[in-house]
């Protein structure tokens, strides 16, 4: 029983934060402090006041050592069921998995742990309830002295509240010595006062009003607000730095990273449980109240069906799937959260590799529609992973603390459990019934209240009246999700989407919905762990999250057990070790743009554009054909924009949320891995430097460097490039920036003022990056010593159509090399302009063809349009009339020609540019026809300029055909030593019947090659392996020279002062790469691969001398 609270003692002056200990957990502890000698021997929690610590057979809990002089380098025993010490966090990856399992059980109150009240009582009995005594005890704990009571407090704070013990402010320690409830959740304290039982775990969350909470400390929520603000993760506010009970601990960042990874996985379920409990306490229903999370009743409805054994779903279609779902032994609420979270992630955050994919989906009206098969499989796999975690996490047997040997009986029992769990999911087809059962429950029981006046008569007939007494007649319930069918070529595909009426309702609660859109891989606050990708026990960069070193759908093809990829992994370690920061100033401006709903610089507007209504038939007939066409076009464009915004809003909100979570972090790290070609990518998916302008504008280097003599020059070059001034010399770019000095200073002073907003928003290649550079440049101009100014923004050196640069170097093509800046020149060459001029000549010739007269007045509009599309003269004259023959129309196709762009792909690229330019005035069908005509001319013009490169590409095609004849995948070794194997195989398919439709499931890959993908993929993939090798060679050079580096495929970044060094490294690495006989080596490798078949002869090379690259200033400019 809890001891009665003693009268409050007079408040003594708070001690200062203890400095960083001179010892570490791996070194002998310093001489014990005299004041602690007697007390440390008695700081053991008495058994009568404590519940048992878990299962003794699973974790052996040795008694706490009472020796004061225990050496911290020893294997310290622990009375808590922790597989590793929280003050050392040292061990193999699987042991971190065990630790995660234990902390998660503690968080869910599935494992007994002393309460804060019991910990307070034990400290009192030991005479440690004085702030300076408790502070010293915490210091000794971090020095490695085993103290059960402090370890229990540390574990509870970390597992249940995401608070680090060393971060506790001294004021909180002082308050805790007088009142234990200061380290409890507010609801736990209220329950104690009212004599109720309440679990302390899972109740602490960021305070809604963090400013008010910082003024006083009454509970753990106030403590979090004081030290972390409103952030979910334990990242100290600037004002809280150095004010914790123990400051400067080397282990703190690693402990912080552990909590971030723990919280990332459990925050959605935790939020649901907290919200549900608060609703019940307040006596409110599950489906009313404006402050409720819109998804809360969905989870409750699914859970109620799963709990109720008398449900009507015991028979009929789907009954077996539901029975299987119930048999898994997972909490109904957890299954509900998994269903909601997974489906909303798929709908709200569709996976698009390029912006053009979003436009294409919007044009086809498929944006916001997720195939039913994808939904079912993804939900089923999420449940499968949770089941595996329950069965496998924490099952690896602990070593005996006495003998250091594994208990054989425990080990065999663990293997048996693993075998049984694997049998339940031995066939991929069994994932579908579980997923379909959950998705069907979501489709049937997820409702949203909407205004009945917003519904059509048909929709109103399907709506459900609200039964609550306080409901008004204006509101009805409609299903939040819809299942429908659409045609895709020859197939009919089932899909799931959000009901449009429900979608509008959900947009009002967009912030609430973000709780579900939780990226598993967040940026790290410690340097990523070194990659160990090869062998039987690969190690990734995170403490808890498993990440594959090579991104591919078939890990067996990576061959990482057969050879060493150490050189590539070292480069990934270097890239991941570059420290970043969130640019707080840009973040605040971005949030203000969102708040004001300005709708600029890729910040999506809060509201959808109005969709023009179709007038009644009698009014529509009064309109002329032109007026009807214009009305339908405006309506089409508005509907398309609404569909685009459905994806853009949550995507932007998620980027903003991650930035807000980490804005207080002094250093951020983005661990990298590679695809099968060697191209490097950051693992965190949403906020990283490889993403769009919003993300790039939010990031800066964490370690500033003085500009020096040349840094200001390159800072100005970078700003000019962002405004599209990259086709003039470097000196002219600097002069252009100097001429804009007045308005740059104005923009930096007040970016959102009328006039200033347009100036930075109009930057061609990145408004937010331009704004950040305007601000830093203005600060440089204001400084007394520009050379000493500490700059944090990266400058970019981008390749000039890099794929064609590699083709020109492979073929020693002098003309092609001149066009892509391999050859020195006074001004940068623009290959896009060269090709555009050829295209213009071809269009001009076609426009001179005679006009075809369509004499048949009986032709309908469709036939007339088809005849005109077949007339090159008409197409050419229409392009000239619309004035769309611009550089940006041909740029994307030229950039991707060496990466295997097809005729269809080129047409879509040109179509996207035409839609941006004239989509408001030209019918979409006509744009498609114009794009088809223009893209053919672009491809022909490219062949003329890069004749030798196209010969090499044809040679690659012939090589692919040889591989296809042997039924083996195209494979080669990249120049940096990565084994590249194309993973394109035909899938094995399994048909599974569900309640709503038949699901065709991809059950792995068959041995049969996908010959078309193998052939089409080889030329671009080989070139990608070359640009990836070049990037890695540059990274190695930067590491040797000691400068910062970040790479975005063919765009290389560093501090402004180090730009000349980076420029030199880039050119030398390019010469080193192409100085090797790459095609000859590939030819010899192919002779071995093809088993004696003689490969096609190598194409003839030109006369380009690669040494001239060393003197070319614009190769990366």
Catalytic residues: 798, 891, 1050
Alpha-carbon gap, residue 284 to 101, rounded angstroms: 34
Alpha-carbon gap, residue 81 to 57, rounded angstroms: 11
Which residues neighbour 514 within 8 Å (Cβ) at sequence distance 6 or greater?
Answer: 650, 653, 654, 657
Q: Say if strands 491-498 and 369-371 run parallel, antiparallel, or are unpaired.
A: antiparallel
Backbone angles phi, psi at 1008, to 5 degrees: -75, 130
For residue 677, with 0-12 CB atoms within 10 Å meaning exposed, 13-18 middle and 19 or more buried, which class applies?
buried
Alpha-carbon gap, residue 81 to 629, rounded angstroms: 72
Alpha-carbon gap, residue 1059 to 1077, rounded angstroms: 30
| Both structure tokens of 542 | 């995170």
Distances (CA, A) of 295 to 206, 263, 338, 386, 1028: 20, 20, 12, 21, 43
Report yes or no: 602 and 694 within 8 Å, Cβ to Cβ. yes
In whole angstroms, what separates CA 161 from the centre of its chain? 25
**Residues 189-223: b if buried by 16+ CB within 10 A, e if exposed:** bebbeeeeeebbbbbbbbbeebeebbeebebbbbb
Alpha-carbon gap, residue 105 to 96, rounded angstroms: 14
Alpha-carbon gap, residue 48 to 114, rounded angstroms: 11
Chain position carrying tokens 């598993």 = 520
Which residues neighbour 887 within 8 Å (Cβ) at sequence distance 6 or greater?
Answer: 830, 832, 833, 836
Sheet strands (E) in 741-810? 790-791, 794-798
Alpha-carbon gap, residue 737 to 718, rounded angstroms: 10
Report yes or no: 662 and 668 within 8 Å, Cβ to Cβ. yes
Alpha-carbon gap, residue 131 to 762, rounded angstroms: 57
Which residues neighbour 955 within 8 Å (Cβ) at sequence distance 6 or greater?
Answer: 1096, 1098, 1099
Strand partners for 1001? 990
3-state secondary structure 680-720: EEECCCCCCCCCCHHHHHCEEECCCEECCCCHHHHHHHHHH
For residue 865, with 0-12 CB atoms within 10 Å meaning exposed, 13-18 middle and 19 or more buried, which class applies?
middle
Alpha-carbon gap, residue 1112 to 111, rounded angstroms: 66
Distances (CA, A) of 255 to 137, 167, 261, 370, 543: 19, 11, 10, 39, 10
Alpha-carbon gap, residue 582 to 659, rounded angstroms: 6
Report yes or no: 25 and 181 within 8 Å, Cβ to Cβ. no
Distances (CA, A) of 140 to 153, 166, 251: 14, 12, 14
Q: Say if strands 550-551 and 475-479 run parallel, antiparallel, or are unpaired.
A: unpaired
3-state secondary structure 1038-1068: HHHHCCCCEEECCEEEEEHHHHHHHHHHHHH
Report yes or no: 148 and 125 within 8 Å, Cβ to Cβ. no
Query: What DSSP state is assigned to residue 83?
Result: S
């Amino acid at each position: 029983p809890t001891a009665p609270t003693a009268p409050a003692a007079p408040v003594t002056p708070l001690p200062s934060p203890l400095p960083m200990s001179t010892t570490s957990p791996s070194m002998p502890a310093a001489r014990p402090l005299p004041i602690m000698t007697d007390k440390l021997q008695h700081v053991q929690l008495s058994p009568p006041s404590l519940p048992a610590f878990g299962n003794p057979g699973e974790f052996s809990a040795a008694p706490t050592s009472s020796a004061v002089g225990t050496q911290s380098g020893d294997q310290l025993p622990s009375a808590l069921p922790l597989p590793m010490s929280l003050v050392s966090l040292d061990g193999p990856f699987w042991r971190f998995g065990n630790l995660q399992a234990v902390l998660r059980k503690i968080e869910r109150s599935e494992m007994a742990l002393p309460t804060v009240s019991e910990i307070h009582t034990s400290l009192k009995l030991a005479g440690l309830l004085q702030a300076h005594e408790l502070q010293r005890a915490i210091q000794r704990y971090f020095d490695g002295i085993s103290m059960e009571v402090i370890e229990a407090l540390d574990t509870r704070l970390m597992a249940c509240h995401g608070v680090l013990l060393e971060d506790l402010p001294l004021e909180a320690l002082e308050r805790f010595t007088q009142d234990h409830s200061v380290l409890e959740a507010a609801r736990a304290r209220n329950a104690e006062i009212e004599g109720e039982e309440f679990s302390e775990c899972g109740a602490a969350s960021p305070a809604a009003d963090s400013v008010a909470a910082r003024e006083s400390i009454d509970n753990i929520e106030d403590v979090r607000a004081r030290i972390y603000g409103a952030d979910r993760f334990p990242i100290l506010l600037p004002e809280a730095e150095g004010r914790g009970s123990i400051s400067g601990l080397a282990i703190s960042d690693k402990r912080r990273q552990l909590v971030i990874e723990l919280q990332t996985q459990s925050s959605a379920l935790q939020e649901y449980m907290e919200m549900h409990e608060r609703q019940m306490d307040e006596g409110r229903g599950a489906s009313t109240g404006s402050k409720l999370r819109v998804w809360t009743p969905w989870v409750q409805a699914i859970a109620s069906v799963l709990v109720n054994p008398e449900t009507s779903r015991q028979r009929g279609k789907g009954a077996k799937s539901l029975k299987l779902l119930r048999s898994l032994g997972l909490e109904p609420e957890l299954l509900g959260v998994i269903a909601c979270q997974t489906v909303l992630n798929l709908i709200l955050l569709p996976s698009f590799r390029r912006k053009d994919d979003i436009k294409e989906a919007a044009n086809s009206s498929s944006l916001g529609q997720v195939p039913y098969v994808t939904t079912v499989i993804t939900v089923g796999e999420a449940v499968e992973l949770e089941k595996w975690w329950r069965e496998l996490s924490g099952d690896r047997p602990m070593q005996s603390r006495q003998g250091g040997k594994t208990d054989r009986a425990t080990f065999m029992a663990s293997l048996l459990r693993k075998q049984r769990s694997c049998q339940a999911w031995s066939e991929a087809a069994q994932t579908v019934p579980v997923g379909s059962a959950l998705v069907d429950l979501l489709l049937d029981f997820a409702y949203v209240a909407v205004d009945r006046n917003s519904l059509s008569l048909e929709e109103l007939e399907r709506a459900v009246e609200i039964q609550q007494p306080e409901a008004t007649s204006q509101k009805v319930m409609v299903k939040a999700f819809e299942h429908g069918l659409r045609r895709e070529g020859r197939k009919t595909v089932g899909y799931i989407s959000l009901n449009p009426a429900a979608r509008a309702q959900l947009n009002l609660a967009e912030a609430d919905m973000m709780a579900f859109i939780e990226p598993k891989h967040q940026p790290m606050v410690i340097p990523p762990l070194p990659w160990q990708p090869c062998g039987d026990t690969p190690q990734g960069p995170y403490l808890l999250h498993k990440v594959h070193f090579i991104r591919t759908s078939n890990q067996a093809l990576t061959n990482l057990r057969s050879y060493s990829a150490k050189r590539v992994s070292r480069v990934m370690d270097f890239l991941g070790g570059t420290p970043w920061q969130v640019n707080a100033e840009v973040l605040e401006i971005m949030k203000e743009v969102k708040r004001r709903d300005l709708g600029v610089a890729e910040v999506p507007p809060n509201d959808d554009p109005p969709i023009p209504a179709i007038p009644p038939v009698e009014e529509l007939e009064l309109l002329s054909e032109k007026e009807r066409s214009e009305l339908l076009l405006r309506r089409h464009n508005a509907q398309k924009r609404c569909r685009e915004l459905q994806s853009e809003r949550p995507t932007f909100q998620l980027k903003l949320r991650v930035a807000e979570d980490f804005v207080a972090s002094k250093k951020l790290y983005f661990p990298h891995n590679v695809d099968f070609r060697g191209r490097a990518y950051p693992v965190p998916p949403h906020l990283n430097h490889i993403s769009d302008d919003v993300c790039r504008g939010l990031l800066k280097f964490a370690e500033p460097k003085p500009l020096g003599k040349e840094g200001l020059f390159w800072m100005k070059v970078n700003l000019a490039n962002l405004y599209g001034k990259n086709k003039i010399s470097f000196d002219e770019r600097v002069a252009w920036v100097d001429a804009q000095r007045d308005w740059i200073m104005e923009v930096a002073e007040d970016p959102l003022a009328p006039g200033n907003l347009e100036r930075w928003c109009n930057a061609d290649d990145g408004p937010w990056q331009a704004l950040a550079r305007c601000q830093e440049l203005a600060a440089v101009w204001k400084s007394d010593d520009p050379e000493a100014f500490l700059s944090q923004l990266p400058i970019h050196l981008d390749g000039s159509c890099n794929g064609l640069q590699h083709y020109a170097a492979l073929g020693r093509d002098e003309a092609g090399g001149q066009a892509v800046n391999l050859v020195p020149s006074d001004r940068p060459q623009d290959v896009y302009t060269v090709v555009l001029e050829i295209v213009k000549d071809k269009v001009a010739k076609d426009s001179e063809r005679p006009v075809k007269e369509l004499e048949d007045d009986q032709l309908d509009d469709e036939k007339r349009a088809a005849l005109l599309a077949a007339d090159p003269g008409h197409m050419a004259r229409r392009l000239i009339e619309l004035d769309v023959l611009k550089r940006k129309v041909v740029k994307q196709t030229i950039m991707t020609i060496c990466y295997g762009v097809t005729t269809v792909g080129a047409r879509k690229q040109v179509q996207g540019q035409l839609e941006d330019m004239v989509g408001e005035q030209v019918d979409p069908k006509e744009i498609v026809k114009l794009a088809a005509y223009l893209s053919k001319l672009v491809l022909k013009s490219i062949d003329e300029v890069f004749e030798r490169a196209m010969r090499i590409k044809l040679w690659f095609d012939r090589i692919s055909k040889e591989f296809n004849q042997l039924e083996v995948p195209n494979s080669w070794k990249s120049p940096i030593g990565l084994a590249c194997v194309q993973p394109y195989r035909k899938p094995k398919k399994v048909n599974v019947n569900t309640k709503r439709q038949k699901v065709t499931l991809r059950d792995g890959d068959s041995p049969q090659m996908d010959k078309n993908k193998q052939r089409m993929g080889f030329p671009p993939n080989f070139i990608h392996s070359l640009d990836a090798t070049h990037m890695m060679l540059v990274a190695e050079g930067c590491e040797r020279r000691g400068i910062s580096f970040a790479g975005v495929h063919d765009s290389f970044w560093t501090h402004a002062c180090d730009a000349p060094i980076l420029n030199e490294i880039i050119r030398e690495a390019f010469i080193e790469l192409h100085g090797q006989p790459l095609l000859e080596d590939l030819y010899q490798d192919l002779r071995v691969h093809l088993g004696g078949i003689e490969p096609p002869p190598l194409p003839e090379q030109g006369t380009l001398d690669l040494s001239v690259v060393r003197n070319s200033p614009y190769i990366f400019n």
